[in-house]
Amino acid sequence: MLDANQDKPIPVPAPRIARFERLGFGMFVHWGLYAQIGRGEWAKNNQKIPTPEYMKLMETFTAKDFSGRALAKLAKRAGMKYITLTSRHHDGFSLYDTRGLSKLDVTHTPAKRDLIKDFTEGCRAEGILPMLYCTTLDWSDDRFSADFPAYLEYLRKSIEILCTHYGPIGGFWFDGNWSNPKADWQEDKLYGTIRKHQPEALIINNTGIGSEGQLGNPEIDSVTFERGRPKPLNRGGHPKYVAAEMCHTMNFHWGIANQDFNYLSPAHVIEELCLARRAGANLLMNLGPSASGKLPDYESAAWKRVGDWIALHGGDRGVIYNGRPTSIVGTGDDFALEMNGDLYLFVLDLTATANTQAHGAATRGPGKREFQGVSSQFKRACWTDNGEDLKMEQDLGTGHLVLHATGYPYGSNTVVRIARLQAS
């Protein structure tokens, strides 16, 4: 995590980074040859499938149900503002025309179409920002272990193709440097290619599980928190303002796995989204399409419920996208965001998450919720979901505020309840 003295001046974010922070919620899509196996995106590596055998999956890769427009429509319905799609994953197979760089791409399959072109055009048609995941690790290219400089040149040429043939790209999301942290990945050359052709694109390089929030090359625009709840970044004294993003998946893999029944609930996703925004971070939520590219039913339905929740709390103009973190401290996971001079208190644990039993697991429930560090006077408090007025007590001298949180009316449960405190 950035650990400079927070008392020092905080740098002003570049416009591309400020825009990224306001996106708030995005879709991650892991899809490739491994979807035909249906055992997750690491199937080749985990099951030690030889490359010649694994690449026979290209012969049956039709992508007949893949649609960038369908992905974008789902993202819009879910309240997501951007999509990050795997242009190539660690297995070495590319969803785009590599223009002679490799035979392991979609043009050498029955699909016979450039899926990154389909994706980027579909996103733009729906007002969704397209971003591209790009592996830096390759299990199928001998140069990765035998001639690393030659492999890195291939990687840069691949990125140059993505930069120059698909219009404006919102960002490039790299993943794999963690596989060999001591190697010289020649990041300056790689990122220089992006800055040359796509100067407004975000540059992200996933530091992986166990290294959440770490910052590397100066060109990095956002740190990552893979499956780890983000913590506020101490940006004081740093030469550059960087954003933060948590990537999370709906179960315990990223590509589709046909025998995995352990899915997150809509309530869980709502909580993760709120707790990411508490730290000013985006949530990038993953799904894995089917072998043919069809959107999975469960994730699609669950995310639409999340979209309903976002709409209930103001939609595009609401606090989920536009609220800013504060130094106010709540009890437990309760927290506060600020927007347009008003304070929004996020109250969790009014009921057990996703527990439908009337007398389920113990929670804090309704009652007094205490917040410290509130320095402004507020005249009114109300729930944003139904407008109910709430009692509150303030002591400006100590910065102590007590909100009397009421419970949900019967037949209502928004998982996280938000109280708006109005200054006027």
Along the 424 residues of the chain, how does pLDDT read in single tens digits?
A: 444 455 789 999 999 999 999 999 999 999 999 999 999 999 999 999 999 999 999 999 999 999 999 999 999 999 999 999 999 999 999 999 999 999 999 999 999 999 999 999 999 999 999 999 999 999 999 999 999 999 999 999 999 999 999 999 999 999 999 999 999 999 999 999 999 999 999 999 999 888 888 888 999 999 999 988 998 888 888 899 999 999 999 998 999 999 999 999 999 999 999 999 999 999 999 999 999 999 999 999 999 999 999 999 999 999 999 999 999 999 999 999 999 999 999 999 999 876 666 554 557 899 999 999 999 999 999 999 999 999 999 999 999 999 999 999 999 999 999 999 998 7
For the chain, count helices (H), then strands (E): 11, 18
SS (HEC) of 16-79 = HHHHHHHHCEEEEECCCHHHHCCECCCHHHHCCCCHHHHHHHHHHCCCCCCCHHHHHHHHHHHC
Q: How crowded is residue 424: how many other Cβ atoms within 10 Å of its Cβ?
A: 8
Look at residues 329, 331, 322, 323 and name the one whose alpha carbon lies nearest to residue 375. Answer: 329
Q: Distance between CA 214 and CA 190 in Å, rounded?
A: 19
- One-letter amino acid of 423: A
CB 347 within 8 A of CB 414: no
Q: What Cα–Cα distance (Å) separates residue 240 from each residue in 12, 63, 197, 251?
A: 8, 41, 21, 34
**At the top level of CATH, which class does the domain 326-422 belong to?**
mainly beta
Q: Which residues pair with 422 in a beta bridge?
A: 380
**At the top level of CATH, which class does the domain 15-321 belong to?**
alpha beta
Map out the domains of the chain as residue ranges. 15-321, 326-422
